[in-house]
């Protein structure tokens, strides 16, 4: 878009120059004048782009202002040199006509054309500045996006080892108890890992796939819980193909299983999506006997990702009470995200 704006400014300037030249011909109605209108136009065109492509980039230095002043006068000299060559050398050789009297020196020609050249050099220089700062802005925006992407990738790689660590602890417990649930648990974990290693590389996955992760995780955890019926899950999704960053909701569920009390209490999970708004609600009771000083790693991770991905379109409310933990998250998706 900005490249088109630059081209439009160039086009507008030359349209104005040509319009001014045609108006001068109509007003003066003089064939001789029209010849020199053409020659000054050619000199302006050559001087404009010589200054635009070569002089300004060579002399531009924000730390040395005097270099830009020198560059301006070099641009003026280039314009005058082009005009002098066309009007005092080439044109007389072809038509026998010249703009100035015979014997006019280049020094006088330069002095007399400072006014005419200044506008051309000034506009050319400013258009180059527009192009330069548009380029800097584009590079800055690209750098910010790359930094965000790198940060997200780093955050996502933190989730996977944390997820594996929690799951292996659960399976270790089943194996230690010589439970017949150990093998199904290993099989479910391998399925989860196949999904996660494939989809964590993506920027987004479908909402139903993210919910599928959660359901698989709950299925894995049910194998070790004595009262699996205490895990209440409600799902109401209008657009299952909505795009969402992978493993954005899973850490909340991981945290509930890691620190939850499932002896006589379970948890209540509700996931709904309606009218472009995702609502994730999780209420679980905390295990008072097992305090983990390193808890909350996954949740802090999600908070950072939400700030990057949905800076003004999410609302995360976490209530960390003595015996209960509640997560209430709402994300408003853009209409084109599905």
Kindly report, residue by residue over 179-206, the tens digit of the pLDDT: 777 787 887 777 777 766 677 778 888 9
Output the pLDDT for position 25: 66
Q: What is the arithmetic mean of pLDDT over 248-274?
A: 87
Among 150-159, 189-198, 250-259, the range scoring the smallest mean pLDDT is 150-159
pLDDT value of position 170: 73
For residue 42, how far is the Cα from the chain centroid?
A: 42
Backbone phi and psi for residue 8, each to the nearest 5 degrees, phi listed first? -65, -40
- The two structure tokens encoding residue 317: 């409310």
Residue 213, pLDDT > 90, answer no
- Residue 318, pLDDT above cutoff 90: yes
For residue 53, pLDDT over 70 is answered with yes
SS3 assignment for the chain: CHHHHHHHHHHHHHHHHHHHHHHHHHHHCCHHHHHHHHHHHHHHHHHHHHHHHHHHHHHCCCCCHHHHHHHHHHHHHHHHHHHHHHHHHHHHHHHCCCCCCCCCCHHHHHHHCHHHHHHHHHHHHHHHHHHHHHHHHHHHHHHHHHHHHHHHHHHHHHHHHHHHHHHHHHHHHHHHCCCCCHHHHHHHHHHHHHHHHHHCCCCCEEHHHHHHHHHHHHHHHHCCCCCHHHEEEEEEECCCCCEECCCCCHHHHHHHHHHECCCCCCEEEEEEEECCEEEEEEEEEECCCCCCCCCCHHHHHHHHHHHHHCCCCEEEEEEECCCEEEEEEEEECCHHHC
How far apart CA 249 and CA 234 sit, in angstroms, is 15
> Is pLDDT of 62 > 50?
yes
Backbone angles phi, psi at 190, to 5 degrees: -60, -35
Of 82, 91, 84, which is closest to residue 34 (Cα–Cα)?
Answer: 91
Tell me the C-alpha distance between 284 and 279, whole Å.
Answer: 17
pLDDT given at position 302: 87
CATH fold group of domain 143-337: Heat Shock Protein 90 (3.30.565)
Q: Where in the chain is the domain with CATH 3.30.565.10?
A: 143-337
pLDDT score for 19: 81
Q: Which pLDDT value is given to residue 293?
A: 47
Angle at 323 between CA 318 and CA 328, to 5 degrees: 20
| Rounded-to-integer distance, Cα 100 and Cα 98, Å | 6
Looking at the predicted structure, is the pLDDT value of residue 20 above 80? no
Query: Which residues on neighbouring strands pair with residue 282, listed in sequence order?
Result: 269, 327
Beta partners for residue 233, in sequence order:
269
Nearest one of 265, 277, 273 to 314, comparing CA atoms? 277
Q: Are 48 and 120 in contact (CB under 8 A)?
A: yes
pLDDT at residue 146, as a whole number:
64
Select, from the ranges 3-7, 96-100, 109-113, 320-324, the one with the highest average predicted confidence (pLDDT): 320-324
Smallest Cα–Cα separation from 244: which of 159, 309, 165? 309
Q: What percent of the chain has pLDDT over 70?
A: 86
Cα dihedral across residues 269, 292, 330, 191: positive or negative = negative
Angle at which helices 182-199 and 207-222 cross, to 10°: 160
For residues 26 and 22, what is the distance between their CA atoms, to the nearest angstrom?
Answer: 6
- With a CB cutoff of 8 Å and minimum separation 6, the contacts of 218 are 231, 233, 253, 269
Q: What mean pLDDT do residues 261-290 have?
A: 87
């Amino acid at each position: 878009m900005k490249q088109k704006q630059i081209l439009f400014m160039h086009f507008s300037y030359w349209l104005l120059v040509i319009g001014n030249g045609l108006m001068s011909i109509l007003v003066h109605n003089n064939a001789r004048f029209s010849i020199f209108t053409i020659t000054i136009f050619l000199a302006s065109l050559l001087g404009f782009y010589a200054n635009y492509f070569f002089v300004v980039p060579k002399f531009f230095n924000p730390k040395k202002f005097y270099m830009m002043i020198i560059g301006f006068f070099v641009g003026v000299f280039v314009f005058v040199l082009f005009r002098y060559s066309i009007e005092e050398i080439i044109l007389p050789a072809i038509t026998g006509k010249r703009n100035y009297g015979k014997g006019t020196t280049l020094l006088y020609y330069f002095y007399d054309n400072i006014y005419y050249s200044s506008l051309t050099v000034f506009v050319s220089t400013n258009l180059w500045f527009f192009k330069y700062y548009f380029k800097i802005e584009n590079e800055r925006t690209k750098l910010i996006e790359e930094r965000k992407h790198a940060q997200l990738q780093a955050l996502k790689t933190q989730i996977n080892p944390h997820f594996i660590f929690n799951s292996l602890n659960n399976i270790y417990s089943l194996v230690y108890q010589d439970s017949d649930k150990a093998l199904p648990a290993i099989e479910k974990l391998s399925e989860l890992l196949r999904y996660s290693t494939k989809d964590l590389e993506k920027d987004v996955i479908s909402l139903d796939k993210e919910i599928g992760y959660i359901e698989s995780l709950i299925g894995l955890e049910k194998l070790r819980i004595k009262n699996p019926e205490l895990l209440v899950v409600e799902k109401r999704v209008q657009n299952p193909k909505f795009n969402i960053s992978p493993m954005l909701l899973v850490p909340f569920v991981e945290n509930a299983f890691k620190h939850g009390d499932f002896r006589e209490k379970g948890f209540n999970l509700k996931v709904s999506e309606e009218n472009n708004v995702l609502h994730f609600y999780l209420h679980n009771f905390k295990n008072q006997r097992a305090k983990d000083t390193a808890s909350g790693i996954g949740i802090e991770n999600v908070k950072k990702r939400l700030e990057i991905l949905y800076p003004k379109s999410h609302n995360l409310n976490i209530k960390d009470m003595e015996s209960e933990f509640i997560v209430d998250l709402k994300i408003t998706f853009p209409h084109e995200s599905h």
